[in-house]
Each structure stands twice: as structure tokens, then as C-alpha cells.
Amino acid sequence: MLLEPDIKNQLDQYLQLMENEILIKVSAGSDTNSQDMLVLVNEIASMSPKIKVEETVLPRTPSFSINKVNEDTGVTFAGIPLGHEFTSLVLALLQVSGRAPKLEQEVIDRIKDLKGEYHFETYVSLSCNNCPEVVQALNLMSILNPNISHTMIDGGTFKEEVESKDIMAVPSTYLNGEFIFSGRMTLEEILAKIGSNPDSSKLNDKDVFDVLVIGGGPAGASAAIYTARKGLHTAIVAERFGGQVLDTMSIENFISVKHTEGPKLAASLEEHVKSYNIDIIKPYKAKSLRKNEFIEIELENDALLKSKSVIIATGARPRKVGVPGEEEFRNKGVAYCPHCDGPLFEGKNVAVIGGGNAGIEAAIDLAGIVNHVTVLEFLPELKADAILQEILYKLPNVTVLKNVQTQKITGTSKVDGISYIERDTGALKHIPLEGVFVQIGLIPNTDWLEETLTLNKLKEIVVDKNGSTNIPGVFAAGDCTDSPYKQIVISMGSGATAALSAFDYLIRN
């Protein structure tokens, strides 16, 4: 038995929702992984009379495909989709059986209209919380369009393939044998990547909004819900709904919820926003703001939206070290997500740049997987909380270098080391290693506002206690502002403040 009793109970309830019979075709050998996969598939099949299993030979062993009875869907799992991929497996079972996906009709139509052959392969690690979104999106595309197929490949089971392709970041997706993208992507972003964009001509025809929120993270979602509840005509423009929460593994300080996972919280945020009459305009990026008769927001696709008030909630992104080698070896040894990419460095030597909470948490996590971790901190002391430092210093395979400046990430086709300068002696040192995890904080997404809004020296939007910026009618909230602390509850609170201030502004003007 591979499934824990409580998981099996939950699965049992999901399988009741299956609509039609499905056929799982398994390609198994005599190796342990194949045998484990067979145990899992047979265990699932024993739970529903709608699931039939037959043996076959697929390009990879162990693997299995999930099909309609008389039609192959192209959805294949190579390896055993447990861990974060178990949800992808459950969704595939339900959707292949005919259960309708939660997707706007416009997106479904765009998928069905795709012409040509698209054979996707996605390499994942089972501990990667960015991978399921890509796997689930591509599986759904395969189910909806017979010209599309998708295979999820567990890097842990197919190590040789991962090494021969030099894959050092997950998810890494290939289309018709060629690398196409790496990292978390929404279904809409994947469609845009292969050239299917929504009809943006209609955006220019939208009425003037009362409130236009830019950003779909905790701050933007909270702001939109508050203004919609005041009866204001509200829209959200978001490049990636959920924001940084999507990249968070475990959240334990979202008050009243003891524990949750980022993607789960992001999905609840979107569901809550969708329960109001809020126009969600995604995935679009704002590129400029100006004030004429109304406040005008221009999008990267040149569409122009107009609103009586605007709330900026564009959050932040990981800060780069800015040294030679960082861009060149991105996804070839330089990584920003330890939870996702850590397993690819199993048994190897890595560095973590940054001695704050994020860096030290990453070093502790990685120490359990890799051979050795070197932490490089620019300042003479680590900035992480004492409790984290205590755990770190007890680990046998971690070296901490303080007061050092990263000078270069070296390599040829992938990372082979890191060079740094000891700041007190000026000596240049080099450590051979295979991975560099950058964890040096965040940079606000405000580049597009530099000409119009007052920013501080950290490029954060300067706001007052009402969330007002220097332009009347333009408010800001969350991590893109000069708020001293960047947390989910704080962002949601400041989103609510900005929303109530926008309401106040509108009734006075």
C-alpha cells in the first residue's frame, strides 16, 4: 500500500466524482520503481469500478498514461506522481473521465483552436511546489485538444535523462523535443508562449472603472474585494494572480489558519475575488500610468484602461546579485527556489548567497539534500533570526562565510564554482561547486512608475497612513510600498486601507 489511509479516504471521495470510464495504460519493468508504480495504479483502480488498467509499452518505463476508453488523451506520468504531483494525478483522473475543468470558456476555446502538433514534456521534482501548476495546465491542454500531449517526468526516477539534458531547475518544459521554458507558468502564460493570445482589442472598449487595482497578490485581492463590497465598479489587472504567495511552500502565520500552502492560499484568493463582480484582466502587465481626465493605465500590449481611481499593488520579485555568471547560468546551476530545485543538487556542493531568514532557511533545507552548503554573507554577521542560526550552526555539512562579497559565478556550460572577495583582507577566493542559490531579498515591481510616482531610495512607493501616493486618486498597498514589513496579513491590511481610502476619495470627488 503506497497511500496513507487519510489520503486514501480523500481520494475515495474524489473518485466518486468520476463521470465516465477511463483506461490507465501502464509500462512497467521488474525494477523497484516500476513495481511501486504498479502498486499505486492498482490501488487506485481498486477504488473505482470506472478505472480499468492494461499493460503496454510507453517510451519511458516506469510510466502510465490516463485515457478515455476509446481514445488516447496523451496525458502520461513517467515516475510515481506522489508528493506535490499527487493532485495532478487526481485532477487528470477526474478530467479524463469527463469532469469539466474550472476554466473560462474563452480559454477552453483557445486551447481547442490550437492547430499543429504539440508534444510537451515537463521535468519535475516531487518536492517542487511550482511544478503542479505547469503539469496540470499541460495535462488539461492535452485532454482538450487531440493534437496536444504531455508527459510529466519525475527527475528523481529519470536521473540519467535529467543529467544528460543538464536540467538544473524544475519545472523544465520541452516542446517537440526543444527546451521551451522553466519555472512556474500559468495556463494563460503557456498559451501566450506558444503564440495564442487573448483578443486584447476588446480591452480598449471597457468602460471607465471606479477603481482599477494593479496586481493580483494578497494586497490587490484584498483591495478589490473591499471596493467591490462598496458597490464600486472594480477591475484587477494582474500579470500572475496570487503573486509571491504562489512561490511559498508553507505558511504558518496567516492568522486563524494554522498551516497552509502558497498555491492553496492563492487559489482561495482568486476564488474569493471571483465571488464578487470584479473584472479580472489577466495575464497582463501594466507599463505606464498617467493622469488626464481619468487615470490611465497603459498595458504592455498597448491597450489603455481608464479609471477614476487606481490602487497599485504590484508587490516585489527576487533581488539579483548582479555579478557575472548570474544571468548566463540561470537554470544551469543558478537558482532562486530552494524547495523546487534543491532535489536536483542531491549529493552535490552548493552555495547560498544571503544570510537573512530566507538564506538561512534555504541553507538548512538544502543541507538535508546536498553534500555541502556554503553560506556567503556580505555583512560581518548573519541577519537571520537567532533560532534559525542555532539550527544552522549545528549542521555538520554547512560552512558560513561572513563579510564576503560574491565576485563571480563561474562555469562553462553550467556552474562550476563561485569566486568571492574577503572584505577585510581583500583576498580573492574560489570554491568549486555545482549550484548557487540566491536569497538576498526582494526588489519592488515599480520600475514602470519611476517617472510618475514618488519612490524612496529602495524604489518603494511612498505612501501615507491612508495608502495615498503623491498623485490624488492613486493609492498603493503591500510589498511595493515603503511599509516597513512585508507579510501576507500586512499586505491584505494595507490593501483594505487603500480600498477604503479610494472609496473616500471617490465620494468626495
Ligand X SMILES: Cc1cc2nc3c(=O)[nH]c(=O)nc-3n(C[C@H](O)[C@H](O)[C@H](O)COP(=O)(O)OP(=O)(O)OC[C@H]3O[C@@H](n4cnc5c(N)ncnc54)[C@H](O)[C@@H]3O)c2cc1C
Residues that bind ligand X (CB under 6 A): 214-220, 237-241, 243-245, 247-248, 251, 253, 285-286, 313-316, 445, 448, 478-479, 486-489, 491
Give SS3 for 20.
Answer: coil
46-51's contacts with Cβ under 8 Å and 24+ in sequence apart are 47/8, 47/11, 47/12, 47/15, 48/15, 48/18, 50/15, 50/18, 50/20, 50/21, 50/22, 50/97, 51/15, 51/18, 51/21, 51/22, 51/24, 51/93
Q: How far is the CB of 358 from ligand X (least distance, A)?
A: 7
* Least gap, CB of 196 to ligand X (angstroms): 20
- Can you tell me whether residue 481 is helix, strand or coil? strand
Minimum Å gap between C-beta 192 and ligand X is 14
Q: Which is nearer to ligand X, 94 or 221 (CB)?
A: 221
Distant-in-sequence, close-in-space partners of 279: CB < 8 Å, separation ≥ 6: 206, 209, 234, 235, 236
Q: Kindly state the smallest distance separating residue 455's Cβ from ligand X, in Å.
A: 14
Q: Select 3 or 499, whichever has its Cβ closest to ligand X.
A: 499
> Which CB atom, from 138 or from 488, has the smaller least distance to ligand X?
488
Secondary structure letter of residue 185 according to DSSP: -
Nearer to ligand X, 148 or 310 (CB): 310
- Closest approach, Cβ 271 to ligand X, in A, equals 15
CA distance 273 to 250: 22
Comparison of 163 and 271: residue with beta carbon closer to ligand X: 271
Residue 477 CB, nearest distance to ligand X (Å)?
7
The residue among 142 and 445 lying less far from ligand X, judged by its C-beta, is: 445
Q: To the nearest whole angstrom, how small is the minimum distance from the Cβ of residue 286 to ligand X?
A: 4
Beta-carbon contacts of 405 under 8 Å, excluding residues fewer than 6 positions away, are 378, 420, 421, 423
* Rounded CA separation 181/218 (Å): 26
Select the residue whose beta carbon is closest to ligand X and give its number.
Answer: 315
CA distances from 254 to 129, 246, 314, 509 (A): 19, 14, 20, 36
For ligand X, give the closer residue by CB, 93 or 223: 223
Q: Is 251 or 431 the residue whose CB approaches ligand X more closely?
A: 251
Give whichever of 163 and 447 is closer to ligand X, judged by the CB atom. Answer: 447
Least Å distance, CB 479 to ligand X, is 4
Task: Output the smallest distance, CB 274 to ligand X, in A.
Answer: 15
Distance between CA 219 and CA 475 in Å, rounded?
Answer: 12
Main-chain dihedrals φ then ψ at residue 194, nearest 5 degrees: -95, 15
Across 423-435, b (16+ Cβ under 10 Å) vs e yields: eeeeeeeebebbb
CA atoms within 13 A on the CB side of 71: 13
Contact 54, 100 (CB under 8 A): no
